[in-house]
Amino acid sequence: MKAPKTHNIYSPEYECMSRDALRELQNERLRRVVKHEYDNVAIYRERMDAKGIKPEDIKTVDDLRYLPFTNKTDLRDTFPFGLLAVPKRDIVRIQGSSGTTGKPIVSGYTENDVEVWTEMVARAIVAAGGGKDDIVQVCYGYGLFTGGLGAHQGATRIGAMTVPMSSGNTQRQILMMKELGSTMLCCTPSYAIYIGETVRDMGLDPKKDLRLKSGCFGAEPWTEEMRQRLEELLDIDACDIYGLTEIAGPGVSFECLEKKGMHVNEDHVIPEIIDPVTEEPLPYGTAGELVFTTITKEGMPMLRYRTHDICVLHDEPCACGRTTVRMGRITGRTDDMLVIRGVNVFPSQIESVLVSVKGVSPFYMLIVDRVHSTDSLEVQVEIEENSFSDTVSALENIRNEISEKVKSVVGISAKITLVSPKSLPRSEGKAKRVIDNRKL
């Protein structure tokens, strides 16, 4: 059962503010946070001094461009407490990410930071149709990872019945969903699809056996085609939600039921799009790297934090009534970029090819290797169960179509390997879609 397309708004006083009033609020909060950062965080002070900038030089959002950037490496280098802007005793929560290589990163939250984050997620769940009468099943992992606790706090805040399932044990997830009559789901989109497939495998009909109506899905990039599949499998409205631990966690931006881009919580963060190479700000409507400056965070405020996510910002008014800027889907990562035979390749480009080909699923794996000093790219993709026929030519046609499209979109030729449905890993966290075997 899909959610009725209502537009409930959790904090209309901020989410529907006039652009002028919002800009005024941002200016004032930015001035305050820059001073706080300069006074309390050595790295920020040194970098501003090096650029010859004093906090009083920053008067409005337009002055952001003069401020130095912050990178993930800064969080690693100063791990764990080097970027704290308050005494350690004022920190009430640590969240972080395990990090695939080397040191983890953590972020410290004051009581107010947890409060702000909770409100951001509450706004997201309400925008996805949630309210006091809902039963929200959270199957993001709980722990240092912000997904589980973030969704949990937000759902609890709006007075929904919150079910802290965490991730994994899919059959049990589904039984609880059925018995409790969960109405909303919060997890990664790939896990939600896996839940949907398992629901079908168990012989259940979401229309009859489940009461789900919508959900907030994030923590990994996904596509419109994955949304369609997810919405069909579970008969729900699937809203995108975005966030990162460095800024707060999930809820930094979120989709309303219009599903036309994620509203940024601009009273708490200022988004910018920059050219990843020249580092110059780009206008709305142009794709580039997303950069966030937090303007209410106390514990570990972030100054022009480079997300390395590629997307577009736009400020056309939304039918839901919110006035905040929206960000489009994350279409790539500046650091996911693979250089194969000298060509820049984004996994998202391959994904866009695969979703346009009938007969294959959006699950894929890219395998990059180097044989006799030549790079090779293999694309493994699952064939779709219902479209498998008995002729070799049908499968060869699919392969050729993918091969030609990859060549025209990416500019290099790839070996296309068709594999059985559900044979590629479904991840419960961020999906790993690239294996680079090159020994450089």
Chain residues that interact with another protein, rule: CB under 8 A: 383, 385, 388-393, 395-396, 417-423
Q: Which does 256 bind (CB under 5 to 8 A by kind): Zn ion, another protein, none?
A: Zn ion
Instruction: Please calculate the CA angle 182-186-191 and round it to the nearest 5 degrees.
Output: 105
Of these partners, another protein, Zn ion, none, which one is at the site of residue 315 (CB under 5 to 8 Å by kind)? none
CA dihedral 379→385→387→390, nearest 10 degrees, is 90
Q: Give the tokens for residue 178.
A: 């059925």
Tell whether residue 318 is a contact of Zn ion (CB under 5 A). yes
Name the pairing type of β-strands 332-333 and 305-311.
antiparallel
Nearer to another protein (CB atom), residue 22 or residue 199: 199
Q: What does 392 interact with, of another protein, Zn ion, none (CB < 5 to 8 A by kind)?
A: another protein
Instruction: Give which of Zn ion, another protein, none residue 318 binds (C-beta under 5 to 8 Å, depending on kind).
Output: Zn ion
Closest CA to 335 of 327, 346, 351, 321: 346
What's the min distance (Å) between Cβ of 93 and another protein? 42
Instruction: Tell me how far apart the alpha carbons of residues 6 and 18 are, in angstroms, rounded to a whole number.
Output: 21
383 binds, among another protein, Zn ion, none (CB under 5 to 8 A by kind): another protein
Question: Binding string to Zn ion for residues 229 to 268, with x set by CB under 5 A, is what?
Answer: ---------------------------x-x----------
Give the sign of the dihedral formed by CA 214, CA 133, CA 125, CA 142. Answer: negative
- List the interface residues with Zn ion, window 169-228 (CB under 5 A): none
- Among residues 171, 132, 127, the alpha carbon closest in space to that of 155 is found at 132
CB of 421 to another protein, least distance (A): 6
Q: Which does 440 bind (CB under 5 to 8 A by kind): another protein, Zn ion, none?
A: none
368 contributes a contact to Zn ion by CB under 5 A = no
CB nearer another protein, residue 73 or residue 420: 420
Backbone angles phi, psi at 311, to 5 degrees: -160, -175
Candidates 49-57, 142-150, 168-176, 315-323: pick the segment binding Zn ion (CB under 5 A).
315-323
Q: How far is the CB of 2 from Zn ion (least distance, A)?
A: 17
Q: How many CB atoms lie within 10 A of CB 375?
A: 18
Beta carbon of residue 241, minimum distance to Zn ion (angstroms, whole number): 13
* Minimum gap (Å) between residue 395 Cβ and another protein: 7
Distances from the Cα of 167 to the Cαs of 137, 140, 186, 240, in angstroms?
A: 10, 5, 10, 18
Smallest distance, Å, CB 14 to Zn ion?
14
Q: Which is nearer to another protein, 289 or 382 (CB)?
A: 382
**124 in contact with Zn ion (CB under 5 A):** no
Residue from 91, 320, 350, 379 in contact with Zn ion (CB under 5 A): 320
Q: Which is nearer to Zn ion, 106 or 124 (CB)?
A: 124
Give 232 or 396: the residue with its C-beta nearer to another protein: 396
Between CA 400 and CA 51 the distance in angstroms is: 54
Residue 390: name its binding partner from Zn ion, another protein, none (Cβ under 5 to 8 Å by kind). Answer: another protein
Minimum CB separation of residue 360 from another protein in Å reads 12
In sign, the C-alpha dihedral spanning 391, 393, 398, 399 is: positive
419 binds, among Zn ion, another protein, none (CB under 5 to 8 A by kind): another protein
* Residue 385 binding target from Zn ion, another protein, none, CB below 5 to 8 Å by type: another protein
The residue among 18 and 393 lying less far from another protein, judged by its C-beta, is 393
Tell me which of Zn ion, another protein, none is bound by residue 320, counting a contact when its beta carbon lies within the kind-specific cut-off of 5 to 8 angstroms: Zn ion
Q: Which is nearer to another protein, 66 or 388 (CB)?
A: 388
Nearer to Zn ion, 58 or 256 (CB): 256
Least distance in Å: CB of 314 to Zn ion?
12
Give the binding site for Zn ion (CB under 5 A): 256, 258, 318, 320, 322
